[in-house]
Amino acid sequence: MDFQDQDTVGDNRYLVKPLYKAAQVLRTVCQSPTALTLKDITELCEIPKSTVYRYLYTMQKLDMIAHDPRSETYSPGLGLWWLMQTADPFANLRLVGRRQRRKLMKRFNATVSLGVLTGSQILYLEIIECSRSLRMRAQPGARDEVHSTALGKALLAFRPRSQWDALIPEKMVRRTANTIVVRRDLLENLEQVRRNGYAIERGENEDGASCIAAPIIDENGFSVASISVSLPTNQTSDALFSEIVAAVVDTCQIIQSRL
């Protein structure tokens, strides 16, 4: 959910500290919703100001950070954006079927998420919020564990069984009372998901929230992403549930035919 922690570094032998610390500065600038001053960054990063100053200066030259002399503030630069142009591996995925996903959100007035697998975590590529009062609080870029999310189970189920073991986290962290924390149970669940073609989850990741997800399958029959509909558990009758299942599966099929 949070930004990946960089605290625990095993083998520092080859770590180039300036890079490491500058990245910290860059992240700080990018994460801030507002433009930051030198002082802000100094305090947030806990790096001496002359050092931060030099980093900012260098990154500015590199176009990674933009400096507004008027307000003395720093903000993310265009160079970053430039890099992404060619480097964004999910650009296409986010683009294709945006409309179907929005339609899905509108139809059930529920949050629709698009996620991919990174390691043994789900990375949220897109979260289309509904207008309900209580909704998911996650942002695109956030992560969750595979074992506690419908997105994760849908994605995992349609990977080769041989990968399952590696992709399921060592320790399956308990998020709620309903979270599946026994490896065997999860494997069983995945088999079922594979048979059904969709995954469901009732309060396993967040109390009171349920989720229905289906995979987007590539030409080799393996999942590349998954789409989910989330809504409060108490608002889901059985009839609605199966209606949503059909809609999600349908949406995924449309999208996968477009890829």
* Contacts with a copy of itself, residue ranges (CB under 8 A): 3-4, 6, 9, 14-16, 18-20, 22-23, 26-27, 30-31, 33, 53-55, 57-59, 61-64, 76, 78-90, 98-99, 118, 123, 139-141
Q: What are phi and psi of 97, to 5 degrees?
A: 80, 15
Q: Which stretch binds DNA (CB under 7 A): 2-10, 31-39, 176-184, 195-203?
A: 31-39
163 binds, among DNA, a copy of itself, none (CB under 5 to 8 A by kind): none
Name which position in 1, 23, 30, 49 contacts DNA (CB under 7 A): 49
Question: Under the criterion CB under 7 A, does residue 171 sit at the interface with DNA?
Answer: no
Question: Under the criterion CB under 7 A, does residue 15 sit at the interface with DNA?
Answer: yes
Least Å from the CB of residue 39 to DNA:
3
State the virtual CA torsion across 234, 237, 238, 241 in degrees, nearest 10: -80
Question: Under the criterion CB under 7 A, does residue 111 sit at the interface with DNA?
Answer: no
Cβ atoms of residues 146 and 152 within 8 Å: yes
Cα(214)–Cα(193) distance, rounded to whole angstroms? 9
Q: Which stretch binds DNA (CB under 7 A): 44-52, 110-118, 151-159, 193-201?
A: 44-52
The helix (run of H) or strand (run of E) holding residue 116 is: strand 111-118
221 binds, among DNA, a copy of itself, none (CB under 5 to 8 A by kind): none
Cβ atoms of residues 47 and 25 within 8 Å: yes
Least Å from the CB of residue 49 to DNA:
5
How is residue 54 written in tokens? 């030099």
How is residue 55 written in tokens? 């980093």
Cα(163)–Cα(120) distance, rounded to whole angstroms? 11
Which of 236, 167, 166 lies closest to 201 in space, CA to CA? 236
CA atoms within 13 A on the CB side of 198: 22
Strands of the sheet containing 36-37, edge to edge, are: 36-37, 73-76, 65-68
Q: What are phi and psi of 212, to 5 degrees?
A: -125, 125
For the window 51-90, what string marks contact with DNA as x by the rule CB under 7 A?
x-xxx----------------x------------------
Name which position in 26, 45, 47, 112 contacts DNA (CB under 7 A): 47
Least Å from the CB of residue 238 to a copy of itself:
36
Question: Under the criterion CB under 7 A, does residue 44 sit at the interface with DNA?
Answer: no
Nearer to a copy of itself, 98 or 174 (CB): 98
Least Å from the CB of residue 119 to DNA:
19
Question: Under the criterion CB under 7 A, does residue 48 sit at the interface with DNA?
Answer: yes
Cα(117)–Cα(37) distance, rounded to whole angstroms? 36
* Chain residues in the site for DNA (CB under 7 A): 13-18, 21, 37-39, 42, 47-51, 53-55, 72
